[in-house]
Amino acid sequence: MLGPGVAWYLCVAAFLFGTGALGVIVRRNPIIVLLSLEIMLNGGNLALIAVARHAGNGAGQIFALAVMAVAASEVCVGLGLVVAINRKRLDLDVDKLSELRG
């Protein structure tokens, strides 16, 4: 295998996951929270594909494709929620959406 070893790819994946987690925690706009979630899922995908290449096994790539399908579903539902929130003239702010609080 030419180039860097699998551990370098795992470091990049960990950094992506941490960056996405930071965005999910610190941002208040639900659209940017969804974008940060995409970054977290992509970090997980990169780790899956790197380890699949290392092990010479195809299951990691299959799992990565399934994760991509789940990410597309999540975006579909999440953006539907954003549009529904916007239609009710509520603020697009995840800190203010506290009506479900018990």
Partner 1 sequence: MILASAGNIVVWMVWIGAGFACLASGIAVVSFSNPFYSALSLIGNLGSLAVLYLLLSAEFVAAAQVLVYAGAVMVMFLFVIAYVGPRVETPWAGGPSWQAVGAVLAAGSIFLEIIVAVALKAGGRLSHSDHVNATFGTPGWIGRLFLTDHLLAFEITSIVLLIAAVGGVILGSHTRRAG
Within 47-66, the residues that bind partner 1 by CB under 8 A are 49-50, 52-54, 56, 58-59, 61-66
Q: Binding of partner 1 at residue 97 (CB under 8 A)?
A: no
Least CB distance to partner 1 at residue 102 (A): 22
Nearest residue to 18 (alpha-carbon basis) of 34, 6, 31, 36: 36
Least CB distance to partner 1 at residue 100 (A): 15
Q: d(Cα 46, Cα 2) in Å, to the nearest integer? A: 17
Q: Binding of partner 1 at residue 94 (CB under 8 A)?
A: no
Distances (CA, A) of 6 to 2, 3, 39, 64: 11, 10, 20, 16
Q: Binding of partner 1 at residue 17 (CB under 8 A)?
A: yes
Q: In this structure, which amino acid lies at residue 81?
A: L
Q: Binding of partner 1 at residue 37 (CB under 8 A)?
A: no
